[in-house]
Amino acid sequence: MDIESLPLSAERVRVLSGVTTATLTTVLLKKGLRNVWMRGARPLKPGQPRLVGRAFTLRFVPAREDLATPASWGAPISTRAAIEAMPEGCIAVVDAMGVTDAGIFGDILCARMRKRGVAALVSDGVVRDLDGVLGTGLPVWCQGTAAPASVAGLTFVAWQQPVGCGGVAVFPNDVIVVDNDGAVLIPQAMVDEVASAAVEQELLEGWIMTQVDAGVPLPGLYPPNAENKARYDAWVKATSTR
């Protein structure tokens, strides 16, 4: 059964947009989650913004000649139909099984996603029509490009179901954060606690950077020992009362 897309509050997007994926992986590691960074999902274009959105999942399987044909693009179960179900603000996460010789989406599909307000496309596969895709303005994280269409190596089978993307289990409505370091997943049930911990982690690391700039040695500073933790707490208290 397909899973209904849930909204993500503007406040949660604002908070997580200020947190790097590097920080998020550290916070999630502390909570016991090691496998949250999607392998192969790299920025297609330098300088793409950090983005946050609910995962809208799509799944491909290996191509089977009777199913993976140009005629399948007009079928009820198709990438075209899936795009029309994508809600504004979502991040499309596409399980392409790491295939790099068949482009999952091209310029026309990406243009439609952009028109529907999709925030970004993330995949462990590749796209085609590079110049056209870049021209749509849709931010993309993937393994690169290939000229052949998806049906050359893949068969599209479903959307809004659990998928594996870049070796990471992604469920619909998990939260995805993307930036120059790649794509990171936050489990849906952990979004609030991870966001809070990540903001604190960013604040701490910002203070540590000021200490590094001041010439403080790293041992006992990163991570902070009791003495430096007390100094940090005093700094937080002083800055919060200004």
**Residue 242's pLDDT band (boundaries 50, 70, 90)?**
low
pLDDT at 81 (0 to 100): 96
**Angle, alpha carbons 102-49-99 (nearest 5°):** 15
Q: How far is CA 61 from CA 89, 95, 104, 134, 192, in A?
A: 26, 8, 12, 26, 33
Q: In whole angstroms, what is the distance from residue 235 CA to residue 228 CA?
A: 10
What does the pLDDT average to over 41-47? 97
In a domain, 127, yes or no: yes
In a domain, 3, yes or no: no
In a domain, 112, yes or no: yes
* Ranges 22-31, 60-69, 205-214: which has the least confidence: 60-69
* pLDDT > 60? residue 142: yes
Are the CB atoms for 58 and 93 separated by under 8 Å?
Answer: yes
**Residue 1's pLDDT band (boundaries 50, 70, 90)?**
very low
pLDDT at 4 (0 to 100): 85
Domain that holds residue 219: 194-240
Q: Is residue 95 domain-shared with residue 172, that is, in the same domain?
A: yes
For the chain, what is the mean pLDDT? 95
Record the pTM: 0.93
Structural domains in the chain (count)? 2
Are the CB atoms for 128 and 145 separated by under 8 Å?
Answer: yes
SS3 content of the chain, % helix, strand, coil (to 5): 35, 25, 40
In a domain, 1, yes or no: no
Q: Is residue 115 domain-shared with residue 235, that is, in the same domain?
A: no
Q: Is residue 118 domain-shared with residue 184, that is, in the same domain?
A: yes
In a domain, 72, yes or no: yes
Q: Is residue 148 domain-shared with residue 232, that is, in the same domain?
A: no
**Residue 67's pLDDT band (boundaries 50, 70, 90)?**
confident
In a domain, 158, yes or no: yes
Phi/psi at 53 (nearest 5 deg)? Answer: -170, 165
Q: In whole angstroms, what is the distance from residue 53 CA to residue 4 CA?
A: 15
CATH number for the domain spanning 113: value is 3.50.30.40
Q: How far is CA 233 from CA 23, 63, 200, in A?
A: 20, 57, 11
**Who wins on pLDDT, 7 or 168?**
168
**Residue 144's pLDDT band (boundaries 50, 70, 90)?**
very high
Q: In whole angstroms, what is the distance from residue 235 CA to residue 214 CA?
A: 15
> For the segment 88-141, what is each residue's pLDDT rounded down to a tens digit?
999 999 999 999 999 999 999 999 999 999 999 999 999 999 999 999 999 999
pLDDT at 233 (0 to 100): 95
pLDDT > 70 in the chain, percent = 99
Q: Is residue 109 domain-shared with residue 185, that is, in the same domain?
A: yes
Q: Is residue 96 domain-shared with residue 183, that is, in the same domain?
A: yes
Q: Is residue 135 domain-shared with residue 236, that is, in the same domain?
A: no
In a domain, 86, yes or no: yes
What does the pLDDT average to over 156-164? 97
pLDDT at 5 (0 to 100): 85
What does the pLDDT average to over 13-39? 97
Q: Is residue 233 domain-shared with residue 148, that is, in the same domain?
A: no
**Residue 2's pLDDT band (boundaries 50, 70, 90)?**
low
167 contacts: CB under 8 Å, gap ≥ 6:
35, 38, 39, 124
